[in-house]
Structure 1
Amino acid sequence: MKKIIIAVTIFISACSQNPKETTEVELWQATADKVTITRDNWGIPHIYGSTDADAVFGMIYAQAEDDFNRIEINFLNAMGRLAEAEGESEIYRDLRMKLFIRPDEIKAMYETSPLWLKKLMNAWADGLNYYLHTHPQVKPKVLKRFEPWMALTFSEGSIGGDIERARLNRLENFYGDKIINIPDEKLDLTKEPQGSNGFAIGPKNTASGNAMLLINPHTSFYFRAELHMKSDEGLNAYGAVTWGQFFVYQGFNERNGWMHTSTGSDFIDEYLETVEERDDGVYYFYDDKWLKMATSVISIPYKTFLANGEEGMATKQVTAYHSHHGPIVRAEGDKWVAMAIMEEPMKALIQSYERTKTDGLASYKKNMEYHTNSSNNTVYADADGNIGFFHGNFIPKRDPTFDWTKPLDGSTSATEWQGIHSVDESINQFNPSVGWLQNTNNWPFSMSGAQSPKKADYPSYMSTYTENPRGLHALRVLENSKDFTLDSLIAAAYDSYLTAFEPLIPSLVKAYDNAKAEDKVDLAAAMKKLQAWDLRYAVDSVETSVAIYWGRELMRMSSEPARANKINIYEYMENKTSATEKLDALRAGLAKLTADFGQWDMAWGEINRFQRITGDIVQPFDDNKPSAPVAFTSARWGSLAAYGQRTFNDSKKNYGTRGNSFVAVVNFGKKITAKAITAGGQSGDVNSPHFADQVADYSDGVLRDVYYYDTDIKANTEEYYRPGTRKKVNK
Structure 2
Amino acid sequence: MKYVSSYILSSSATNKQPLWYSFKICSITLLFSTFIACSKLQPEPTDTEFSRLQERANAVEIIRDNYGVPHIYAKTDADAVFGLLYAQAEDDFKRIERNYVWAMGRLAEIEGEEALYSDLRVRLYMTLDQAKIEYQKAPQWLKDLCIAFADGLNFYLKTHPHIKPKLITQFEPWMPMFFFEGSIGGDIEKIPLDGIKAFYGSAQNIPLQASIDSMSEPKGSNGFAISGKLTESGNAMLLINPHTSFYFRGEVHVVSEEGLNAYGAVTWGQFFIYQGFNEHNGWMHTSTYADFKDEFIEDIFTKNGQLYYKYGNESRKVEESTVTLKYRDGNVLKNKEFSMYHTHHGPITHMIDNKWVATKINWEPAKALEQSYIRTKTRNHKEFHKMMDIRTNSSNNTVYADSQGNIAYYHGNFMPRRNAGFNFSKPVDGSNPKTDWQGLHELDEMITLLNPDNGWLQNCNSTPFNAALEFSPKSNDYPTYMAPDAENYRGIHAVSVLAGQDNFTLDKLIALSYDPFLPAFAELIPSLIGAFDKSKNKDKKTSDAIEVLRKWDFKVSEDSVAMSLAHFYGMHYLNKGNTPEGLKFVEKIRYFSNDTTEKERLKFFSEVLIELENDFGKWNIPWGEVNRFQRLNGSIASSFDDTQPSVAVNMASGRWGALAAYGSRRFEGTKKLYGYRGNSFIAVVEFGKKVKAKSLLAGGQSGDPLSPHFNDQIVNYVNTEFKDVAYYREDVEKRATERYTPGDH
TM bucket by the smaller chain?
Answer: over 0.9
1:244 aligns with 2:269: yes
Q: For residue 688 of structure 1, what is the aligned residue in structure 2?
A: 707
Query: Alpha-carbon deviation of 1:177?
Result: 5.3
Contact 2:80–2:254 (8 Å) recurs in 1: yes
Contact 1:677–1:703 (8 Å) recurs in 2: yes
2:175 is paired with a residue whose SS is helix
1:190 aligns with 2:215: yes
Which of the numbers 417, 429, 433 marks the counterpart of 2:437? 417
2:148 is paired with a residue whose SS is helix
1:392 aligns with 2:412: yes
Query: Alpha-carbon deviation of 1:182?
Result: 11
Contact 1:37–1:720 (8 Å) recurs in 2: yes
Unaligned runs of at least 5 residues, structure 1: 1-20, 306-310, 727-731
Q: For residue 281 of structure 1, what is the aligned residue in structure 2?
A: 306
Which of the numbers 36, 43, 68 marks the counterpart of 1:43? 68
Which of the numbers 622, 626, 631 marks the counterpart of 1:607? 626
Query: Alpha-carbon deviation of 1:211?
Result: 0.3
Q: For residue 51 of structure 2, what is the aligned residue in structure 1?
A: 26
* Inter-CA distance 453–219: structure 2 relative to 1 (3 Å threshold): same
1:100 aligns with 2:125: yes
Which of the numbers 448, 451, 456 marks the counterpart of 1:431? 451
Q: For residue 553 of structure 2, what is the aligned residue in structure 1?
A: 534
Q: For residue 40 of structure 2, what is the aligned residue in structure 1?
A: none
RMSD: 1.8
Q: Name the stretch that deviates more: 266-275 or 584-593.
A: 584-593
1:582 is paired with a residue whose SS is helix
Paired residue type of 1:208: S
* Inter-CA distance 178–304: structure 2 relative to 1 (3 Å threshold): farther
In 2, Cα distance between equivalents of 1:336 and 1:557: 35
For residues 501-580 of structure 1, the aligned pairs below 5 Å read: 501-516=521-536, 518-519=537-538, 521-558=540-577, 561-563=580-582, 568-580=587-599
Q: For residue 648 of structure 2, what is the aligned residue in structure 1?
A: 629
1:293 aligns with 2:318: yes
Contact 2:208–2:352 (8 Å) recurs in 1: no
1:342 is paired with a residue whose SS is coil
In 2, Cα distance between equivalents of 1:709 and 1:588: 56
1:561 is paired with a residue whose SS is coil
Q: For residue 203 of structure 1, what is the aligned residue in structure 2?
A: 228
Query: Alpha-carbon deviation of 1:112?
Result: 1.9
Give per-residue Cα distances to partners, 1:479-498, cap 9 Å, x unaligned: 01111111110001101000
1:148 is paired with a residue whose SS is coil
Q: For residue 131 of structure 1, what is the aligned residue in structure 2?
A: 156
Q: For residue 742 of structure 2, what is the aligned residue in structure 1?
A: 723
Q: For residue 463 of structure 1, what is the aligned residue in structure 2?
A: 483
In 1, Cα distance between equivalents of 2:693 and 2:548: 39
* Inter-CA distance 584–364: structure 2 relative to 1 (3 Å threshold): same
2:299 is paired with a residue whose SS is strand
In 2, Cα distance between equivalents of 1:164 and 1:282: 28
Q: Name the stretch that deviates more: 129-138 or 94-103.
A: 94-103
Contact 1:158–1:373 (8 Å) recurs in 2: no
* Inter-CA distance 388–194: structure 2 relative to 1 (3 Å threshold): same
* Inter-CA distance 356–599: structure 2 relative to 1 (3 Å threshold): same
Give per-residue Cα distances to partners, 1:656-687, cap 9 Å, x unaligned: 10010110000111111100011100000000
Give per-residue Cα distances to partners, 1:49-80, cap 9 Å, x unaligned: 10000100000000000011000000001100
Contact 1:201–1:437 (8 Å) recurs in 2: yes
1:75 aligns with 2:100: yes
1:525 is paired with a residue whose SS is helix
Contact 2:214–2:585 (8 Å) recurs in 1: no
Paired residue type of 1:229: V
Query: Alpha-carbon deviation of 1:402?
Result: 1.4
1:221 aligns with 2:246: yes
Give per-residue Cα distances to partners, 1:149-179, cap 9 Å, x unaligned: 1111101135942112222222112111576
Give per-residue Cα distances to partners, 1:328-370, cap 9 Å, x unaligned: 0111112101000000100000000000000010000000111
Query: Alpha-carbon deviation of 1:509?
Result: 1.9
Q: For residue 655 of structure 1, what is the aligned residue in structure 2?
A: 674
Q: Name the stretch that deviates more: 582-591 or 706-715.
A: 582-591
In 1, Cα distance between equivalents of 2:325 and 2:217: 32
Q: For residue 37 of structure 2, what is the aligned residue in structure 1?
A: none
Q: For residue 620 of structure 1, what is the aligned residue in structure 2?
A: 639
1:164 is paired with a residue whose SS is helix
Q: Name the stretch that deviates more: 295-304 or 612-621.
A: 295-304
Query: Alpha-carbon deviation of 1:280?
Result: 2.8
Which of the numbers 467, 483, 496 marks the counterpart of 1:476? 496
Contact 2:205–2:352 (8 Å) recurs in 1: no
Q: For residue 143 of structure 1, what is the aligned residue in structure 2?
A: 168
Q: For residue 62 of structure 1, what is the aligned residue in structure 2?
A: 87
Query: Alpha-carbon deviation of 1:106?
Result: 1.4
Q: For residue 514 of structure 2, what is the aligned residue in structure 1?
A: 494
* Inter-CA distance 333–81: structure 2 relative to 1 (3 Å threshold): same
In 2, Cα distance between equivalents of 1:559 and 1:349: 44
1:588 aligns with 2:607: yes
Q: Name the stretch that deviates more: 664-673 or 153-162.
A: 153-162
* Inter-CA distance 459–181: structure 2 relative to 1 (3 Å threshold): closer
Unaligned runs of at least 5 residues, structure 2: 1-45
In 1, Cα distance between equivalents of 2:632 and 2:510: 28
In 2, Cα distance between equivalents of 1:566 and 1:446: 17
In 1, Cα distance between equivalents of 2:54 and 2:443: 44
In 1, Cα distance between equivalents of 2:137 and 2:393: 21
In 2, Cα distance between equivalents of 1:269 and 1:157: 22
Which of the numbers 371, 378, 381 marks the counterpart of 1:361? 381
In 2, Cα distance between equivalents of 1:525 and 1:691: 42
2:171 is paired with a residue whose SS is coil
Q: For residue 452 of structure 1, what is the aligned residue in structure 2?
A: 472
Contact 1:610–1:655 (8 Å) recurs in 2: yes
Contact 1:562–1:572 (8 Å) recurs in 2: no
Paired residue type of 1:468: N
* Inter-CA distance 390–279: structure 2 relative to 1 (3 Å threshold): same
Give per-residue Cα distances to partners, 1:212-235, cap 9 Å, x unaligned: 000000010000010000000000
Contact 2:652–2:658 (8 Å) recurs in 1: yes
Paired residue type of 1:260: H
Contact 2:204–2:354 (8 Å) recurs in 1: no
Contact 2:629–2:647 (8 Å) recurs in 1: yes
Give per-residue Cα distances to partners, 1:19-78, cap 9 Å, x unaligned: xx9811111011100100000000000000100001000000000000110000000011
Contact 2:486–2:584 (8 Å) recurs in 1: no
In 1, Cα distance between equivalents of 2:586 and 2:724: 44
2:619 is paired with a residue whose SS is coil
Paired residue type of 2:320: T
Give per-residue Cα distances to partners, 1:283-337, cap 9 Å, x unaligned: 11110222110011111011221xxxxx121111100000110100111112101
* Inter-CA distance 207–564: structure 2 relative to 1 (3 Å threshold): closer
Contact 2:699–2:717 (8 Å) recurs in 1: yes
Paired residue type of 2:268: W
Paired residue type of 1:103: L
TM-score, length basis structure 2? 0.92
Contact 2:389–2:443 (8 Å) recurs in 1: yes
Q: For residue 443 of structure 1, what is the aligned residue in structure 2?
A: 463
1:169 aligns with 2:189: no
Query: Alpha-carbon deviation of 1:643?
Result: 0.7
Contact 2:184–2:244 (8 Å) recurs in 1: no
* Inter-CA distance 656–339: structure 2 relative to 1 (3 Å threshold): same
Radius of gyration: which is bigger? 1
Contact 2:195–2:206 (8 Å) recurs in 1: no
**Count of residues in correspondence between the two structures:** 700
* Inter-CA distance 238–335: structure 2 relative to 1 (3 Å threshold): same
Which of the numbers 307, 319, 324 marks the counterpart of 2:339? 319
TM-score, length basis structure 1? 0.93
Paired residue type of 1:645: S
Paired residue type of 1:254: E
Paired residue type of 1:377: N
